[in-house]
Structure 1
Amino acid sequence: MSKTILYARVSTSDQDVSHQLTQAEAAGFEIDEVIADEGVSGVATKLSERPQGKRLFDRLRRGDVLVVRWVDRLGRNYQDVTDTIRTFMRQGVIVRTVINGLTFDGATTDPMQEAVRDALIAFMAATAQAQAEATKEAQRAGIEANRGDPAKYRGKKPSYDRGTLQTVLTMSREGAGTSAVAKAAGISRQTVLRINSDPSAADAVLVRWGL
């Protein structure tokens, strides 16, 4: 019997993967099992080399559905992400994203549909890596600019992480109300309003904390 598995990942040990399950359920997914890696970088470590990533490869079978918040949960390395998704599709696994509700599977045999699907996978994987590289560079710049003044550099720790920020911005762009966004992201309405009022500032806070 096929099952629906959510794979969640957070990059630092003080973050919580539970909001990714909340987001998936709010989007209408019925999750049978959650497999999560906590405190694992999506840049430095391939999915197949992560403790629970290995388990994910073992658990998935033909006909199963793999749900991820976005492709950056699988990784932030272009080659690894594209290879991973194509491997799953060849095995008959359907990959679905919570954000934007995208579906990737290997069922189609139409070459044009395959080309569009593969181009979208490549674009999303490239975007994930580019975002990771931009964040790392911005973090280095912020540390250098505020060297010698840790309090100025750090500030108050945010109540959201980068995945939550992306969820808020995406859902808000799609017209979701503040309360619905807050529930899906697992944060307060005030935080949602603050993020939407100045997305750049919200991103800068994450950069300062290395999130």
Structure 2
Amino acid sequence: MFVRAYLRASTQDQDANRAEGQLKAFAKDHGLKIAAWYRENESGTKLDRPELFKLLSDAQEGDVLLIEQVDRLSRLDESDWKKLRAMIDAKGVRITALDLPTSHQFIGANADSFTGRVLAAVNGMVLDILAATARKDYEDRRRRQSQGIAKAKTNGKFKGRPENVDRNAGIEGMLNSKMSWGDIQKATGCGRATIAKIVKRMKDQKAA
């Protein structure tokens, strides 16, 4: 059984590898070996995700797509989720998520044809429910965030996200010493987007 693990985080400032240990432990407990890893920092609300598409391109019928949670695979709206499900189904890939117990039942199982079809139907239904729940959670959080910002602006209290002054000063020093972006990321744990903002600010300051 060829298991392909997919790790995703929403932004460059988050760690896409956070759940790697959990996936390895799950695979070990079920007598599986993860043969390929796919990692990316992309929003789950986007259908166009290079590493996920690479996984599906590499996959063969019967392969397992292993994820920590269904929301790592999708926070898509209904239309895009249907497109992704169609792509996955067309490849014959089986989704196994740590938070989807019904998906664990097919791991290494030798069920007869009828039982296998029933398990697949139940798993598909629960998968759709969790994907819809993940999307609703995303939309609810965005709405609450917008409401909070609007209220803070009305009260004159909205200041935006506070800057990590000490870290950003250190990044400026590293840039001035010609360190590579990759080395800066390793040293500070920040994302490329953060470095790009600081580079732009440094250029603007020199131009002023």
Q: Give TM-score scaled by structure 2 length.
A: 0.60
Distance 1:123 1:108 in 2: 25
5 Å-filtered alignment, 1:55-66, equals: 55-66=54-65
5 Å-filtered alignment, 1:102-141, equals: 102-103=102-103, 109=114, 113=119, 115-141=121-147
5 Å-filtered alignment, 1:113-192, equals: 113=119, 115-147=121-153, 148-150=156-158, 154=161
What 5-or-longer segments of structure 1 have no aligned partner?
Answer: 158-211
Distance 1:103 1:79 in 2: 23
Q: Is the 8 A contact 1:3 1:65 kept in 2?
A: yes
User: What amino acid is the match of 1:97?
Assistant: A
Other-structure match for 1:161:
none
Q: Which residue, out of 38, 45, 60, partners 1:35?
A: 38
What 5-or-longer segments of structure 2 have no aligned partner?
Answer: 107-111, 165-208
**1:138 Cα deviation (Å)?**
1.1
Other-structure match for 1:88:
88
**Higher alpha-carbon Rg:** 2
Distance 2:26 2:69 in 1: 13
**1:135 Cα deviation (Å)?**
1.0
Distance 1:21 1:34 in 2: 9
Taking a change above 3 Å as real, the CA distance of residues 79 and 20 of structure 1, as seen in their structure-2 partners, is farther
Other-structure match for 1:8:
7
Q: Is the 8 A contact 2:38 2:55 kept in 1?
A: yes
Deviation string 1:124-183 (CA, Å, 9 cap, x unpaired) is: 1211111110011011112122234356x65799xxxxxxxxxxxxxxxxxxxxxxxxxx
State how many pairs are aligned: 150
Q: Give TM-score scaled by structure 1 length.
A: 0.60
Q: Is the 8 A contact 2:100 2:127 kept in 1?
A: no
User: What amino acid is the match of 2:129?
Assistant: F
**1:116 Cα deviation (Å)?**
2.9
Distance 1:91 1:131 in 2: 28
Identity %: 26
Taking a change above 3 Å as real, the CA distance of residues 150 and 25 of structure 1, as seen in their structure-2 partners, is farther
| RMSD (Å), alpha carbons | 2.9
Q: Is the 8 A contact 2:61 2:91 kept in 1?
A: yes
**1:69 Cα deviation (Å)?**
1.3
Other-structure match for 1:18:
17
Taking a change above 3 Å as real, the CA distance of residues 95 and 142 of structure 1, as seen in their structure-2 partners, is same
